[in-house]
Structure 1
Amino acid sequence: MVSASSETFNPASSDRPPAPAPPVRAQVFSAARPHSERDMVDVTKWPLFSLMGPQELCLIRKACVFGTSANEAIYVTTDDEVFVFGLNCSNCLGTGDSQSTIVPKKLDFLSGRKVVSLSYGSGPHILLATEDGELFAWGHNGYSQLGNGTTNQGVAPVLVSANLLNKKVTEVACGSHHSMALTDAGEVYAWGYNNCGQVGSGSTANQPTPRRVSSCLQSKVAVSIVCGQTSSLAVVDNGEVYGWGYNGNGQLGLGNNGNQLTPCRLAALQGVCVQQIVSGYAHSLALTDEGLLYAWGSNTYGQLGTGNKSNQLSPVQIMTEKERIVEIAACHSTHTSAAKTQSGQVYMWGQCRSQSVLLPLLTHFACTDDVFACFATPTVMWRLLSMEHDDFLTVAQSLKKEFDNPETADLKFCVDGKYIYVHKAILKIRCEHFRSMFQSHWNEDMKEVIEIDQFSYPVYRSFLEFLYTDNVELPPEDAIGLLDLATSYCENRLKRLCQHIIKRGITVENAFSLLSAAVRYDAEDLEEFCFRFCIHHLTEVTQTAAFWQIDGNLLKDFISRASRCGAFKN
């Protein structure tokens, strides 16, 4: 048989099953769990993707980073092309050779096929399901985890057809060296390494091709599957959870630590309806339809979130004092856990950058994916990252999109000979200056173009864009003009934003000009900031042209004030 990679993640020995197989490098990813619109996904938070240019990045629709050291990646573009790059351990890139590549290579065999689910194992091996229900596999195959009846490595994607003909696969899951597939009929199939019963066949003999997991699942309709290191879990349509395989750390949640060769229902979850289930390295999390969170299994790093490091053989409820949970996250390559609440708060616990976080810790992240990008070791993805969004836009997104759009605008400003297209209603809602301007007599005039000559085009355009977006992006020199406008129009928030921009861009060369502007526009906080900067760099500032070209009265006031501060003492 082909041996597993020598690059293996080594967690605490108490989390390992008594088996010769290397530790897990597996996790389930399913398109059935889409990102919400507010998740603000940024694939460049994973180092591999930071090497790509903006034009390539904007074409990525789905992505997965995997491997022992997060050294491999696969992504799908907007036109359903599949690309891979990275170390290529055990031919896991599927390029037909064993060469590493830092330049993304296209997998022509998968061109045009819409990816709906993807998972990876510890060799690693890859499973990929398409929208048409086809299942492809490649990579490590030392235990027949590719399902082709052999133990030869798969150097390129191959269709898995044995016992799956006329079956439509909707979801896939990889354990350390075993595999599972879920069909649209709710059937669960498993194959590969079976030393602890993780294939669910009733024995510990390896399974070379897909075999339906029956026993007490025979008459059940499964809706979700997940693989542990050498264990398996499934959720059925009534919310019950079934587990089988290795149970040395209680990761099956059965109340004991004995292995199970066939599926067994988690009796401790009776009475609740589970909607989502995930597995970490040796622990499991379940989320109910009421937003309740349960955890069980290994707790070496506090990954159960119970406040201690004691293993739990049965599910225990955590985060009971928090608001409703809407998403949970865990990854077989790490001991990290995460959850997202209804209001969008993201918590993390377990092993976070080598620290043990025993209780859920509130983060500043917008999505659970960021927890694994920034705090997990290795920095793999816990699911297939999706950049897909539906056509719905929030009010803020819609306003931003319509700024300076001549097709929908009913008014335009002319500044420095250039037009800026806006909407009267939005200006009236957002700015008191325009609300006063657009009185009833304005409509009678039917004036559609307003000439502006007291401000520059960049300044006025930035002001109007601020009314649509609440943001300002200007260099400090232009921000002075915008500060003047904000003062004239009594826009205090815009005034504060301008001051922040100016503070951030102050230099020896422009410090005295900025000080002069702060005085002129009655920006006391900015004036004090600029004055202190000038004092700290007095010799250099007094040698600039701006210092000697300034108004005489301001210069006198500055010298007098600087003198009182002791700036001219030897």
Structure 2
Amino acid sequence: MDLSKWPTFSLLKPEFVEKVKMACVYGNMANEAIMVTKDDDVYGVGFNTAGCLGVGDLNSTMEPRKIEPLSQKKVKGIAYGSGPHVLAYTENGELYSWGHNGNCQLGNGSTNQGLTPYLVTTHLHNKKVTRVAAGSHHSLALTEEGEVLAWGQNNYGQVGSGTTTNQPTPRKVIASLSSRRVVDIACGQTSSMAVMDNGEVYGWGYNSNGQLGLGNSVNQHNPCRVAALEGLVITKIVCGYSHTLALSDEGGLWAWGSNSYGQLGTGNKANQAAPVRVAQDIERIVDIAATHYCNLSAAMTQSSKVYMWGQSRGHCVVTPLETPYTSLHEVFAYWGCPAVTFEPFHVTMTTQSSLAQAMALALDDEYGEFQETADVVFLIDEKRIRAHRAILKIRCQYYRNMFQQHWKESNLEEVEVKDYTYPVFRAFLQYVYTDTVNVSPEDAIGLLDLANAYCEEGLKKHCERIIRHGITTENAAMLYAVAIKYEAKELEKFCFRFALNHMTEVAQTEAFMALDEHTVKNFIQRAAKHGAFKY
């Protein structure tokens, strides 16, 4: 994502921009921002409402100012309320807070403004934080043990303590969640949501618009299960101002809550107090986005198409609208009111004649300006691809070895490829030239085979991501076996968890029946350890 999408960054000096690796925009006018540089320094820029830049005073700044307490701490994630207050956690699990604190949302035991980051972890008894979320004036943190901690404004029960009294320091959300492992959290303006490791969803806090998904409009002071999602395995949840979106492990999208601007994507503006399936006429969805700052929703599909709906700078888009964007962040940069980021983004710089663009054009350029630079042709399935030995030797150890004198292919102008299909080998070359991969989940399996044979660990990660996005009950067993074969440990865990969540369906598929005896026994033993066969 390019910093230039946001006006907040437009006055930054190019030499500073080149150093930025992560950034976020927040505030009621989208006029505050935080940036983390490649050398791990943290800077703030903007209006500095309530000291929300964390620089030690209330002065606004058009020049980046270093946030000393966060620099060199390896900040990993950031969340922000509309007060605004800001939360940041590090790779070591430390949690910091600063900014507006009129409702105890900083978790420091007071209501004093926080002009510099405060180490909230001192109240957490050595718990490591792995995720944070912020409502307008309350905060949530998820620990590596799967516990949810909450603090701040609690007038509607959004802290989940069973009362409506503000919570000055982090408190574990116990009711309904005490013995459960939480894997995702999200905040609306005055509501809270959590996803369990088994895919169940719980909500608490303000519910006047049905944003908790409970089928009613009654506020909840303790977490309540969203019963309408029973039988589904939800993997991600996000909240808008007063609506909620949930994504299942099979790529389905559910929405509920306020719909005054079409933010649910149902085709109308009627509120929904219980989850409804939306966006069924588009392909599998792999990511979703919303922020409590506005009434805008966005989703990305398996083929990286980006859709948007809801309140879009005066327009009301009531059904998912396909956009030309390549990132969910662009939806909020161009159409959000205010144009805040829904989460921090990783910065990528683009120029008109970038190296990546030149490399992409050079690959298989038969008639253009790069045609004479190619010095090797690959023959696959009776098709030819023109390439460059130097690039292959620089980027790939396998071809660095091949083009040495002792390989027979080293002096050939045309090299035949017999073990892989044309789409798979073409995708491999695209990765070598551009560091990007664009194949179907089916071809990603063949590409994973190639990546494993060529010892390309980076390519394996790309393949695993694509395969995860393409998993279904029909192919889960086959993908599980593929992951074992190619020693893709993270993919193996993912496929196993998916199969466990859909055990009945997966066990009846042809793919499961085709597994070898050793793999089946191993799967059953693992499933038993996870309680799959308990009565």
TM-score, structure 1 normalization: 0.63
1:365 pairs, out of 325, 328, 331, with 325
1:128 pairs, out of 77, 80, 88, with 88
User: Aligned equivalents of 1:188 and 1:170: distance in 2?
Assistant: 10
Does residue 59 (structure 1) correspond to residue 19 (structure 2)? The answer is yes
2:147 pairs, out of 183, 187, 195, with 187
CA 1:143–1:320 in structure 2 vs 1: closer, same or farther (change >3 Å)?
A: same
**What corresponds to 1:298 in structure 2?**
258
State whether residues 2 and 348 of structure 2, in contact with CA within 8 Å, keep that contact through their aligned partners in structure 1.
Answer: no
Answer 1 or 2: higher relative contact order, Cα 8 Å, separation at least 6.
1
State whether residues 403 and 421 of structure 1, in contact with CA within 8 Å, keep that contact through their aligned partners in structure 2.
Answer: no
| Shift of residue 430, structure 1, vs aligned partner | 5.8
2:167 pairs, out of 207, 212, 219, with 207
State whether residues 226 and 279 of structure 1, in contact with CA within 8 Å, keep that contact through their aligned partners in structure 2.
Answer: yes
Between 347-356 and 153-162, the greater mean CA deviation after superposition: 153-162
Name the amino acid aligned to 1:341.
T
State whether residues 80 and 114 of structure 1, in contact with CA within 8 Å, keep that contact through their aligned partners in structure 2.
Answer: yes
State whether residues 222 and 234 of structure 1, in contact with CA within 8 Å, keep that contact through their aligned partners in structure 2.
Answer: yes
**What corresponds to 1:140 in structure 2?**
100
Name the amino acid aligned to 2:321.
L
**What corresponds to 1:164 in structure 2?**
124
For residues 102-113 of structure 1, the aligned pairs below 5 Å read 102-113=62-73
Name the amino acid aligned to 1:378.
P
CA 1:259–1:168 in structure 2 vs 1: closer, same or farther (change >3 Å)?
A: same
CA 1:421–1:159 in structure 2 vs 1: closer, same or farther (change >3 Å)?
A: farther
CA deviation map 1:370-408 (0-9, x unaligned): 00111111111011112379xxxxxx959829979xxxx
Does residue 340 (structure 1) correspond to residue 300 (structure 2)? The answer is yes
| Shift of residue 188, structure 1, vs aligned partner | 0.4
CA 1:52–1:252 in structure 2 vs 1: closer, same or farther (change >3 Å)?
A: same
**What corresponds to 1:256 in structure 2?**
216
Name the amino acid aligned to 1:192.
G
User: Aligned equivalents of 1:199 and 1:331: distance in 2?
Assistant: 18
| Shift of residue 219, structure 1, vs aligned partner | 0.6
2:79 pairs, out of 111, 115, 119, with 119
State whether residues 147 and 162 of structure 1, in contact with CA within 8 Å, keep that contact through their aligned partners in structure 2.
Answer: no
User: Aligned equivalents of 1:422 and 1:398: distance in 2?
Assistant: 16
Q: CA RMSD in A?
A: 2.7
Q: Percent identity?
A: 55
CA deviation map 1:332-362 (0-9, x unaligned): 1111111111011111111111110111111
**What corresponds to 1:273 in structure 2?**
233
Name the amino acid aligned to 2:376.
A
CA deviation map 1:511-547 (0-9, x unaligned): xxxxxxxxxxxxxxxxxxxxxxxxxxxxxxxxxxxxx
User: Aligned equivalents of 1:329 and 1:201: distance in 2?
Assistant: 27
2:182 pairs, out of 222, 238, 249, with 222
Name the amino acid aligned to 2:128.
K
State whether residues 190 and 205 of structure 2, in contact with CA within 8 Å, keep that contact through their aligned partners in structure 1.
Answer: yes
User: Aligned equivalents of 2:221 and 2:13: distance in 1?
Assistant: 49
Name the amino acid aligned to 1:193.
Q
| Shift of residue 60, structure 1, vs aligned partner | 1.2
Query: What SS does the corresponding residue of 2:151 show, helix, strand or coil?
Result: strand
Query: What SS does the corresponding residue of 2:8 show, helix, strand or coil?
Result: helix
User: Aligned equivalents of 2:209 and 2:286: distance in 1?
Assistant: 26
**What corresponds to 1:310 in structure 2?**
270
| Shift of residue 165, structure 1, vs aligned partner | 2.1
1:244 pairs, out of 201, 204, 223, with 204
State whether residues 200 and 262 of structure 1, in contact with CA within 8 Å, keep that contact through their aligned partners in structure 2.
Answer: yes
| Shift of residue 53, structure 1, vs aligned partner | 3.1
Does residue 400 (structure 1) correspond to residue 351 (structure 2)? The answer is no
**What corresponds to 1:86 in structure 2?**
46
| Shift of residue 108, structure 1, vs aligned partner | 1.6
CA deviation map 1:262-290 (0-9, x unaligned): 00110000000011110011100000000
User: Aligned equivalents of 1:267 and 1:245: distance in 2?
Assistant: 17
Instruction: List structure 1 runs of 4+ shifted beyond 3 angstroms.
Output: 396-399, 401-404, 420-423, 426-432
2:246 pairs, out of 270, 286, 291, with 286
CA deviation map 1:87-143 (0-9, x unaligned): 000000011111000000111211211122210112100110000010000000001
- Structure 2 residues not aligned, in runs of 5+: 350-354, 364-370, 388-407, 414-432, 435-535
CA 1:447–1:247 in structure 2 vs 1: closer, same or farther (change >3 Å)?
A: closer
CA deviation map 1:14-64 (0-9, x unaligned): xxxxxxxxxxxxxxxxxxxxxxxxxxx112101111222332222111100
CA 1:375–1:401 in structure 2 vs 1: closer, same or farther (change >3 Å)?
A: closer
Query: What SS does the corresponding residue of 2:10 show, helix, strand or coil?
Result: helix
**What corresponds to 2:109 in structure 1?**
149
Name the amino acid aligned to 1:240.
E
Name the amino acid aligned to 1:100.
S
CA 1:447–1:238 in structure 2 vs 1: closer, same or farther (change >3 Å)?
A: closer
User: Aligned equivalents of 2:24 and 2:255: distance in 1?
Assistant: 25
State whether residues 148 and 162 of structure 1, in contact with CA within 8 Å, keep that contact through their aligned partners in structure 2.
Answer: no
| Shift of residue 427, structure 1, vs aligned partner | 10
User: Aligned equivalents of 1:45 and 1:55: distance in 2?
Assistant: 18
**What corresponds to 1:175 in structure 2?**
135
**What corresponds to 1:424 in structure 2?**
375
Larger radius of gyration: 1
CA deviation map 1:286-327 (0-9, x unaligned): 000000000000000000000111000000000111110011
| Shift of residue 431, structure 1, vs aligned partner | 6.8
Query: What SS does the corresponding residue of 2:293 show, helix, strand or coil?
Result: coil
